[in-house]
């Protein structure tokens, strides 16, 4: 019995190692492109009393795998640090991190995970995926323009969302006459193919 258990333990270890190796390979495939975070940006524009206000997310991470020859095989995985949202003033930033807005303490990251990429003519693509903000998820379709120049690829797009669908801006902020319901998330990602 002991020998069988010992053998089982080794088999399990081997399986775990094989799984780990496969996962590393898969990980390497996903990290097909290195995103230059210094040149990239993710901005959320809100309208306050009809005046557009840009806030920039200072911290985010991106995994991109995109080959123009095989666009449908591509994938994107974006994670945004909600506490890094910068409106240019500390008191606004603290308010944005608070419970009524991003509740960054409870929900430190907003994520987008693609499920499909479809060509939409020229260098335009429609990227379908799940957007999760404050624990609420919605399936969204993001129009993206992808340009390649040498080893560099740029991904540009903007996605209008309704903040109330993600519980962003609760309490007195639910009133959309002060801060509009529609928020536009704009991104410019620069990556270098490995």
Cβ-contact 127, 117 below 8 angstroms:
yes
Backbone angles phi, psi at 129, to 5 degrees: -170, 180
3-class DSSP state of 62: strand
Given a cut of 90, whether residue 139 has pLDDT beyond it is yes
Burial class (CB in 10 A: 0-12, 13-18, 19+), 82: buried
User: What's the pLDDT tens digit per position in 61-120?
Assistant: 999 988 888 999 999 999 999 999 999 999 999 999 999 999 999 999 999 999 999 999
Banded model confidence at residue 193, pLDDT cuts 50, 70, 90 = confident
- Mean pLDDT score of the chain: 85
Q: Which helix (H) or strand (E) element contains residue 93?
A: helix 90-97
Given a cut of 80, whether residue 18 has pLDDT beyond it is no
d(CA 139, CA 116): 11
Mean pLDDT of 124-153: 95
Backbone angles phi, psi at 163, to 5 degrees: -60, -35
Residue with the bigger pLDDT between 17 and 97: it is: 97
């Amino acid at each position: 019995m002991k020998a069988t258990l010992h053998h089982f333990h080794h088999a399990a270890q081997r399986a775990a190692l094989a799984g780990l190796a496969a996962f590393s390979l898969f990980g390497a495939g996903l990290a097909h492109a290195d995103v230059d975070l210094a040149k990239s940006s993710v901005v959320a524009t809100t309208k306050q009393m009809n005046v557009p206000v840009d806030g920039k997310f200072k911290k985010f991470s991106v995994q991109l795998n995109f080959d123009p020859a095989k666009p449908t095989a591509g994938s994107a995985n974006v994670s945004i640090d909600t506490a890094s949202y910068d409106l240019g003033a500390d008191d606004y930033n603290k308010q944005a991190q608070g419970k009524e807005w991003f509740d960054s303490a409870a929900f430190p990251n907003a994520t987008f995970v693609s499920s499909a990429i479809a060509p939409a003519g020229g260098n335009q693509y429609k990227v379908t995926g799940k957007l999760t903000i404050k624990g609420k998820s919605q399936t969204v379709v993001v129009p993206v323009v992808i340009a390649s120049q040498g080893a560099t690829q740029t991904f540009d797009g903007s996605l209008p969302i309704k903040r109330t669908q993600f519980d962003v801006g609760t309490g007195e902020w639910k009133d959309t006459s002060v801060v509009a319901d529609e928020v536009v998330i704009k991104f410019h990602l620069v990556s270098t193919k490995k």
